[in-house]
Amino acid sequence: AQSVTQPDIHITVSEGASLELRCNYSYGATPYLFWYVQSPGQGLQLLLKYFSGDTLVQGIKGFEAEFKRSQSSFNLRKPSVHWSDAAEYFCAVGARGGSYIPTFGRGTSLIVHP
Amino acid sequence: ETGVTQTPRHLVMGMTNKKSLKCEQHLGHNAMYWYKQSAKKPLELMFVYSLEERVENNSVPSRFSPECPNSSHLFLHLHTLQPEDSALYLCASSQELAGGHNEQFFGPGTRLTVL
């Protein structure tokens, strides 16, 4: 079965600074990978996803993520953070041909200082 | 309405009450899910429905009873809950169930407080 780890529970950045949120997965083959964002009082919204092909994936709201097979990672990045990016971020892993339910990480809470 | 809607958004109930949470998806999807989100805990998958048939029940206590009358509606019936059941209950849908690659669309959740 697949698993996913988000090693950082909280990340604090200043507005305008760059951001990288870490996600590591465990799976025997190339998985499907997702990043979701949850703003306060809201449900989860998909930011981006990786299925195959180009390992650098562009998403909404200026986010991107890079799949690195050698490191079993799918880190989320943004070059310049806005105060409205403060939210909870979830990485999720889906198995090819296996369990049809994506496995979610525990989430990383992003705090943005003015 | 678009996307996935959930009602009510907030619910306070006593341990002896019976209440229901409602989810509706306007996306034409075939799969629907209930998740429980508690503070400082990972997202917990509770139930999965595909074409109105329950395909997964993750050892959820019987005080939670799901119902899927059609592919657009999903209910979670609650009775004799415990204070530890207080959480945000999220409904989600996806186009299909199989394949592992399906993007899930989430509703805003129902914040449940059990007194």
Q: In this predicted model, what pLDDT tens digit does every residue of B11-32 receive, in sequence order? A: 999 988 899 999 999 999 999 9
User: Binning pLDDT at 50, 70 and 90, where does residue A99 land?
Assistant: low
Q: Which among B42, B91, B101 has CB closest to A51?
A: B101
- Looking at the complex, does the CB of residue B104 fall below 8 Å from at least one CB of chain A? yes
C-alpha distances out from residue A54 to A36, B50, B115, Å? 20, 32, 50
Q: B87 is written with which tokens?
A: 């959480």
pLDDT, position A44: 94
Chain A partners within 8 Å of B101 (Cβ): 32, 49, 51, 94, 96
Quick check: A22 and A6 in contact, CB under 8 A? yes
DSSP at A61: G
pLDDT, position B1: 64
Best probe of the A interface among B101, B102, B103, B112, by most A CBs < 10 A, is: B101
